[in-house]
Amino acid sequence: MAPAVPSAMDRPHFIGIGGAGMSGIAKILAMRGAAVAGSDARASATTEALRALGVTVHLGHAAGHLAEDASCVVVSSAIRPDNPELAAASERGIPVVHRSDALAALMEGDELRPIAVAGTHGKTTTTSMLAVALTTLGLDPSYAIGGDLDVPGSNALHGSGEIFVAEADESDRSFHKYAPEVAIILNVELDHHANYASMEEIYESFLTFVGRIRPGGVLVVSADHPGARELTARLTREPEPGRDLRVVTYGEADDADVRIVKINQRGLASEVTVLADGRMLTFAVSVPGRHYAGNAVAALAAGTALGLPVHNLASALGSYTGVGRRLQLKGTAAGVQVIDSYAHHPTEIAADLEAIRGGAGDGRVLVVFQPHLFSRTQELGIEMGQALTLADSALVLDIYPAREDPVPGVTSDLIVDAATAKGADARAVPGKDEIPELIAGMAKPGDLVLTMGAGDVTELGPRILARLES
């Protein structure tokens, strides 16, 4: 029997409904029978996918878009207080619900077994791997993912099964709202500088998330990442009285419960061998590099924590073929592969460049990087530049502001200067329109071009391919 739609969300209005997280919740509500409406700044493949489900989508933001009978207004942390639809909701006394509360409500109920995937990096990939594997096994899970599996609109599904897999976002502490049966923590690092002032605050936030795991539940946590190991140590040193929690570690470390024995990279894919439940298993991962292999093993450990046979799950993980913007091959033209990456934190940038380097053979790796957020660039710009030294050449665009206002003195030059100081070939290119021509003049057959960042740099892939073809 399908879970009911919470009465407060039977006629929801989403502000920014085309966003990755917002559209997923809207999609699940629509599939459960709610009369969903919303608005977004512009049309996209995602808004069209929502309309195909019967969702009313308005373009632009105006008070008149908010229906008279709206039961609530759903917002994310990116929505500014002066949004006209949010102001109209306040004037009319319509409840305002944060995206995380809406998702938490969808995951509630004794009939559901939620898995929440947390960590500074890798959440979307790991959630996607689990969703695909569970679907392959015929379990028909529900899922909410921060990216599209293979086609626009595939970031969420209301399934008939009991398992619900969701990303748990630490950026604004919204993952404190969820109560999973199984939680995954992939890594713990300082990011989101507008919300966290120190690593101590990060640890406190992740410990709060762990405290939300259902009694008798399981925490799957990396044995390799220093921040994750410290978190596990703190759990051991300061156990919560009466806590009924099983901890399962995974990774390449000798003391990992699910241990990665070997990773063989095969072009832009990998083959992973693990020791789990006393047996050796080898399975395929469709993306390259240690980072993504670790994501797959985290998914394996979480699935087995729910009681799924480890060999079946390992085989099913081979069905995963990728997710949008996570080393996604956009195409090949003139012998040059163009790949898109969402990486925007130095650790992610380095991991993706190392993975791509392993699959480039004798070709060069050319990067078009768009920094994301002034606050992140201010704090981590030097580390971003140092990570870009792993590329043969890097073109650095202006900072994508997203929800932030400019910060005086914080520009892409911070990144370029840090890269060139380490001997890298890097330069600032303010306008995206110049990029296709510049890449066409640089790239040779066998090279890999990587468009990288969390902003609109993803739009450049097709334009670069078109220019290479011409």
Supply the CATH number for residue 134's domain: 3.40.1190.10
In a domain, 158, yes or no: yes
Last residue of a domain, one of 72, 97, 122: 97
Whether the predicted pLDDT of 295 surpasses 60: yes
Q: Are residues 331 and 454 in the same domain?
A: yes
| Interatomic CA distance for residues 468 and 156, integer angstroms | 34
Q: Are residues 429 and 395 in the same domain?
A: yes
8 Å CB contact between 37 and 59 = no
Residue 243's pLDDT is 76
Distance CA 136, CA 148 (A): 17
How far from 352 is each of 56, 79, 391, CA to CA, in Å? 38, 30, 10
Q: Is the pLDDT of residue 68 over 50?
A: yes
Do 283 and 347 lie in one domain? The reply is no
Residue 136 lies in a domain: yes
* CA dist., res. 112 & res. 180, Å (int): 9
Query: What's the whole-number mean pLDDT along residues 325-342?
Result: 91
pLDDT tens digits, residue range 161-191?
Answer: 999 999 998 888 989 999 999 999 999 998 8
Q: Is residue 135 part of a domain?
A: yes
Q: Report yes or no on 184 lying in a domain.
A: yes
Same domain? 336 vs 253: no
- pLDDT value at residue 123: 92
How high is the pLDDT of residue 7?
A: 72
pLDDT at residue number 153 = 57
Considering the chain, what percentage of its residues have pLDDT values greater than 70?
A: 97
SS3 101: helix
431, part of any domain: yes
Same-domain status, 335 and 205: no
What is the C-alpha to C-alpha distance for residues 262 and 251, in angstroms, rounded to an integer?
Answer: 10
Strand, coil or helix: 310 = helix
**Over residues 1-12, mean pLDDT:** 75
Cα separation, 456 vs 177, whole angstroms? 29
Domain stop point among 299, 317, 335: 317
Q: How far apart are CA 201 and CA 411, in angstroms?
A: 27
Q: Are residues 31 and 124 in the same domain?
A: no
Pair (242, 305) in one structural domain:
yes
Looking at every residue in the chain, the average pLDDT score rounds to 92
* 2 within a domain of the structure (yes/no): no
Residues making up the annotated binding site for ATP are 119-125
Task: Please state the rounded mean pLDDT for residues 45-64.
Answer: 95
Q: What pLDDT score does 360 carry?
A: 80
Give the pLDDT score at 1. Answer: 43
Specify the pLDDT at position 379.
Answer: 93
The verdict on residue 1 lying in a domain is no
Please indicate, yes or no, if residue 423 is contained in any of the structural domains: yes
Residue 374: which domain range?
A: 326-469
Tens of pLDDT, residue by residue over 401-417, are: 987 999 999 999 999 99
Contact 293, 318 (CB under 8 A): no
Query: Do 153 and 20 belong to one domain?
Result: no
Among candidate residues 34, 65, 97, the one where a domain is terminated? 97
Residue 247 has pLDDT above 60, yes or no: yes
Regarding whether 282 and 233 lie in a shared domain, the answer is yes
> How many domains does the chain fold into?
3
Enumerate the known binding-site residues: 119-125
* Same domain (yes/no): 56, 144: no
pLDDT at 328: 87
Least confident stretch, 98-107, 316-325, 376-385, 428-437: 316-325
**The dihedral sign for the CA sequence 119, 125, 131, 133:** negative
- How far, in Å, CA of 466 to CA of 37, rounded? 36
**Is residue 241 scored above 80 in pLDDT?**
no
CB 397 within 8 A of CB 460: no
pLDDT band at 151 (very low <50, low <70, confident <90, very high): low
Q: What percent of the chain clears pLDDT 90, i.e. is strictly above it?
A: 77
Average pLDDT for 11-25: 94
Give residue-wise pLDDT tens across range 192-228: 777 788 999 999 999 999 999 999 999 999 999 999 9
Asked if residue 273 and residue 161 are part of one domain, the reply reads yes
CATH number at residue 23: 3.40.50.720
Task: In whole angstroms, give the CA distance from residue 370 to residue 225.
Answer: 26
Q: Which residues are catalytic?
A: 123-124, 167
- Is the CB of residue 322 less than 8 Å from the CB of residue 328? yes
Token output for 274: 């693990």
33: confidence class by pLDDT, cuts 50, 70, 90: very high
The pLDDT of residue 284 is above 50: yes
Co-location of 93 and 144 in the same domain:
no
| CATH number, residue 439 | 3.90.190.20
